[in-house]
Amino acid sequence: MAVITDALCPFCGCVCDDLTIVTENNKITEVKHACKLGAAKIMGHHRIKAPMMRKDKHSEFKEVSYEEAINEAARILSNSKRPLLYGWASAVCEVHKKGILLAEELGAIIDNTATVCHAPSTLAVHEKGLPSATLGQIKNRADVIVFWGSNPVHAHPRHMGRYSVFAKGLFSEKGRKGRKVIVLDVRKTETANMADEFVQLEQGSDYLVVSALRAILSGHADVVPESVGGVSKDALLKLVDTLKTGKFVGIFFGMGLTQSKSRYKNIDNAISLVTELNAFTKCVITPMRGHYNVTGFGNVCAWETGFATAVDFSRGAPYYNPGETAANDVLIRKETDAAMIIAGDAGAHFPADSVRHLARIPIIQIDPYWNATTEVANVVIPVAICGVEVEGTAYRMDGVSLRMRKMIEPTHPPDTEILEKITERVKVLRGE
Amino acid sequence: MELLIKNGSVYDPSNGIKGDKTDISIKDGKIVEKVSSNASVIDAGGRLVMPGGVDAHSHIAGAKVNMGRIMRPEDTRAGIKPRTKITRPCTGYTVPNVYAMGYRYAQMGYTTVFEAAQAIMKARHTHEELEEIPIIDKGALTLFGSNWPTMDFVREKNMDKLAAYVAWGLLASRGFGIKCVNPGGGEMWGFGKNVTGLDDVVPNFDVTPKDIIVSLMKVNEMLGLPHSVHLHCNNLGKPGNYKTTLASMELAKQVKPSKDRQVLHVTHVTFNCWGGTNWGDFESKADEIANYLNNSENITTDMGQLIFGSATTMTADGPVQYANAKLLHAKWANGDVELEDASGVVPIFYAKQVSIHAIMWAMGLELALLTKDPYKVLLTTDHPNGGPFVNYPEVIALLMSNKKRQEEIKTLHEAVHKRTKIPGIERELDFNDIAIMTRAGHAKVLGLLDTKGHLGVGADADIAIYDIKPDQIDPSVEHAKIKSAFQSAAYTIKGGEVVVKDGQITATPMGRTYWVDASVPDEHTEIMMKDIRMKFKNYYSINLANYMVQDEYLTHPKVVRAGVIPAEVS
């Protein structure tokens, strides 16, 4: 029996680093301190045993060797005129680096799961920046916490305990009792049930509500109507007062804001609100990132290519124009003629039109697990699980870089090795 | 592998060589007495040869830099170059990608660059980027000026604990030296406030910026670190701040250097030599700073020269960045790091017809030209705060040619005449001065003069050859030639390998990352760690076991030993 302490959780953007893992005979027998979601991922479930290929998408998979699968993957990619390399969020940064190199080699588009999650936040950051802070800053200082369009009780279960609502720190020794918690959402979530204030908005009216808050904050309450987005003016006035009089306000936002009507404009407006609040008090805003290392992909991609995501290498140099170069843009336009899906599940999370196109083109999947993408894949290459069987770097939702630990020996090769071999093979096929 | 550089017109200030025709012998990456007849030969043909450029203050890697890239796709687009057989794609102007950082420095003949600020908690990120910057040697200074343990130990007046913390923090961050940014202000920005001077008391910690600066200088010398305390003064970005800068410099008198170097490096003076009381009566007081430098022995500075055009300001000085964003109506990134420091990123465009910018342009030049000893003013642009490092050749040309300065002044806002001294300064620097301000001085200030910034036997074979014949050029008149030669080295040799020829990258070896391993008595570390463990238990949002940068992030480390207990040279 071996016990690993201070282990990191490879599930959500909280990247909790206080887990204790018990292993026996290279199997994980117990996960302590993790939430249910994290523990389930670490304990593992049905794995893809061996590489698989099939002639067409209607036939059954046949197990093949890694060499065969890698050769076929390289053949598909090097024959492609408009390849897409998508996913990455459930892999460590070391994998991202290999992926970007392969994208350069192929002249491919590389994009990550943020495209259906927080990529609109990145667009807003282009417009307005990002006044943020590490989570410990919120833990130690925040007396007002806002969750807007996010539901940590379900999506980030330990966030409130470790970093925000209940966390105690130097200037927040009372924890929950010393904090005002506000939830803005279209429905009364379980997070809303725990809040001091729940502000229920009409679906798609976030932009309006942020605008009303900004108007009140800048002394123009007179132009705000009696009700905005289903929220009474009184409630809005009260909310502004709470925000202004807090000593440190931490705002967290989720996909309720990024993927609803007005998308990136919601975030753009919210960031402006945060900037303006800093004239009165300290206020920071942080996206509630989903996958544990989706933030890491954005970082690696930014320092290697200059752009955080949706990078098109077809010109030999990085080109970025979301709306044109994001994964769903090229899928819906039916431009992509082959795709590699790695450490992300496009099959489950992409819009129907995109998935329909994925079902028509050759797909290579690199993943430890069978998922919806497997159903449209031609070549499936199982790999070791990053953060459980492979160590490496991940970036928490607040951009803090952490080193994921290896808990057990892998039964499959790591993503990095597969990507290296595909890249080498692509070079051979292209006569380089 | 052996290499011989013949017929160079060599400028090697720390060995007293000023334009002599000297041959340089290279073996196994080092400069040696002589090489065998099998050595490959580069005939410099009378051209200018200098040690590889060294940059002691530039923002090249880490959380701030990457936030600059993420928030500025417009900047990334400003410098795009496709990959070649040997180079990765390049992007960006003020915030280049990691590859462009290495290539562009090497193309200018630079071979060693130090990132000027990393928070310990975000150091892993810094090193992830540093390890991907090709060619150049590098390192990073670690922020200590607003860290809770620093302030606690300063308040306790326990220099043993503070020294132990600094040594441990350098290990945790694999840092090279002590950076101190707006001391105390980083903590106060946690609640949206700032300190306003050296004597303000930081709430809850009961220390002043003055206490922090002096204590850090003391432990820096106790530890015998290669570099001195590297200070970004309080009140940066506020008119009238030259008084704070002078008062900060005055503090250096309280501490004796442990080595042949300064005890305090005051950085990017362009941003801290401001006179006046508001934007209306804003004026340069660079002359006052230069005057102070001319009458003191233990302080060095760097210019932080302003370059007209696009820049990205990035600093651990969180409050100044909020002020900038408000003033400029610009996008604003803020990056507080729990228990350690603040930070911010704000784009800016420096315009010739904006009086403030024209005056700031003059400040860096005034400082460099009015300070007699070039070892006291390093050439920097505080990349990318004053402007991107690719503009160093522009700054060199300005320093070498009064004619160029006068031509430039004609294009600037008239305030440059009334509120700066630059129009009347006729001094023109020579190649020896430039070699000091871009190489020897930086190496000396960093404490790396044994192997960097010179061409004597035993130095690293980091060498630049420029397409200028010093005896056949008048830099005062032919300033355009000076600029273009320094933009594009004829040869850059890094560790004995030709990495640039005729301005083009020819090889991309990986450089090393310098960090300082400073030893302190175990009992000091033990007492200090009791406090640190308590801080992790109660305050940090990560565990101590996951805090320190692991060996995996330094694939090419270069350890420099220091410490309270004199360590054996290894």
φ, ψ at A110 (rounded to 5°):
-115, 130
How far A126 CA lies from chain B's nearest CA (Å)? 4
The answer to whether B74 and B459 have CB atoms below 8 angstroms apart is no
In the DSSP assignment, the letter for residue A61 is: P
- Say which amino acid occupies B167: A
- Model confidence pLDDT, tens digit, residues A376-386: 999 999 999 99
Which residues 504-543 of chain B have a CB within 8 Å of chain A? 538-543
Low-confidence ranges of chain A (pLDDT < 70): none
Cα–Cα dist B117/B364, whole Å: 21
Which residue in the set A104, A126, A400 is minimally distant from B542, CB to CB? A400
- pLDDT for the residue B439: 98
The answer to whether B202 and B211 have CB atoms below 8 angstroms apart is no
* pTM for this prediction: 0.98
The answer to whether B257 and B221 have CB atoms below 8 angstroms apart is yes
- pLDDT for the residue B475: 98
For A173-194, b/e burial (b = at least 16 CB within 10 A) is eeebeebbbbbbbbeebebbeb
- pLDDT for the residue B566: 52
Is B73 in the A-facing interface, judged by CB distances under 8 Å?
yes
Which residues 307-336 of chain B have a CB within 8 Å of chain A? 322, 325-326, 330-336
In the DSSP assignment, the letter for residue B545 is: G
Task: Output the DSSP codes for B409-427.
Answer: HTTS-THHHHS-SGGG---
Cα–Cα dist A24/B195, whole Å: 55
How far A68 CA lies from chain B's nearest CA (Å)? 28
Which residues 367-396 of chain A have a CB within 8 Å of chain B? 391, 393, 395
φ, ψ at A335 (rounded to 5°):
-80, -40
Task: Output the DSSP codes for B169-227.
Answer: HHHHHT--EEEEESTTHHHHGGGT----STTPPBTTTTB-HHHHHHHHHHHHHHHT-SS
Alpha helices in A48-171 (DSSP H): 66-79, 93-106, 119-128, 135-141, 152-155, 159-162
Q: Give the CA count within 13 Å in the CB-facing half-sphere of B351.
A: 6
Q: Do B550 and A403 touch (CB under 8 A)?
A: yes
Q: Do B192 and A395 touch (CB under 8 A)?
A: no
For residue B121, which of B383, B345, B342 has the smallest C-alpha distance? B342
How far A247 CA lies from chain B's nearest CA (Å)? 7
Torsional sign, CA A202, A203, A208, A214: positive
Which residues 192-231 of chain B have a CB within 8 Å of chain A? 192, 204
For residue B558, which of B498, B500, B510 has the smallest C-alpha distance? B510
SS3 (DSSP) at B358: helix
Cα–Cα dist B450/B14, whole Å: 10
- Model confidence pLDDT, tens digit, residues A47-71: 999 999 999 999 999 999 999 999 9
Cα–Cα dist B183/B360, whole Å: 24
Contacts of A97 (CB under 8 A, 6+ apart): A300, A304, B132
pLDDT tens digits in sequence order for chain B, 570 residues long: 899 999 999 999 999 999 999 999 999 999 999 999 999 999 999 999 999 999 999 999 999 999 999 999 999 999 999 999 999 999 999 999 999 999 999 999 999 999 999 999 999 999 999 999 999 999 999 999 999 999 999 999 999 999 999 999 999 999 999 999 999 999 999 999 999 999 999 999 999 999 999 999 999 999 999 999 999 999 999 999 999 999 999 999 999 999 999 999 999 999 999 999 999 999 999 999 999 999 999 999 999 999 999 999 999 999 999 999 999 999 999 999 999 999 999 999 999 999 999 999 999 999 999 999 999 999 999 999 999 999 999 999 999 999 999 999 999 999 999 999 999 999 999 999 999 999 999 999 999 999 999 999 999 999 999 999 999 999 999 999 999 999 999 999 999 999 999 999 999 999 999 999 999 999 999 999 999 999 999 999 999 999 999 999 999 999 999 998 554 444
From chain B, the residues in CB contact with A243 under 8 A are: none
Cα–Cα dist A237/A249, whole Å: 16
Rg (CA), chain B: 22
Domains by residue range for chain A, with CATH: 2-41 (no CATH), 47-117+292-429 (3.40.50.740), 119-287 (3.40.228.10)
φ, ψ at B455 (rounded to 5°):
-125, 20
In the DSSP assignment, the letter for residue A390 is: B
Cα–Cα dist B532/B165, whole Å: 9
Q: Do A304 and B332 touch (CB under 8 A)?
A: no
Cα–Cα dist A143/A249, whole Å: 6
Task: Output the DSSP codes for B93-142.
Answer: SSS--HHHHHHHHHHTTEEEEEEEEE-GGGHHHHHHHHTTSBSSEEEEEE
Number of CB pairs, chain A paired with chain B, less than 8 A apart = 197
- pLDDT for the residue B569: 47
Is B88 in the A-facing interface, judged by CB distances under 8 Å?
yes
Which residues 311-350 of chain A have a CB within 8 Å of chain B? 313, 315-320
Question: Which residue pairs, CB below 8 angstroms and at least 24 apart, start in B471-474?
Answer: B471/B9, B471/B19, B471/B46, B472/B46
Is A126 in the B-facing interface, judged by CB distances under 8 Å?
yes
Query: What ipTM does the predicted assembly reach?
Result: 0.98
- pLDDT for the residue B567: 46
- pLDDT for the residue A432: 79
From chain A, the residues in CB contact with B318 under 8 A are: none
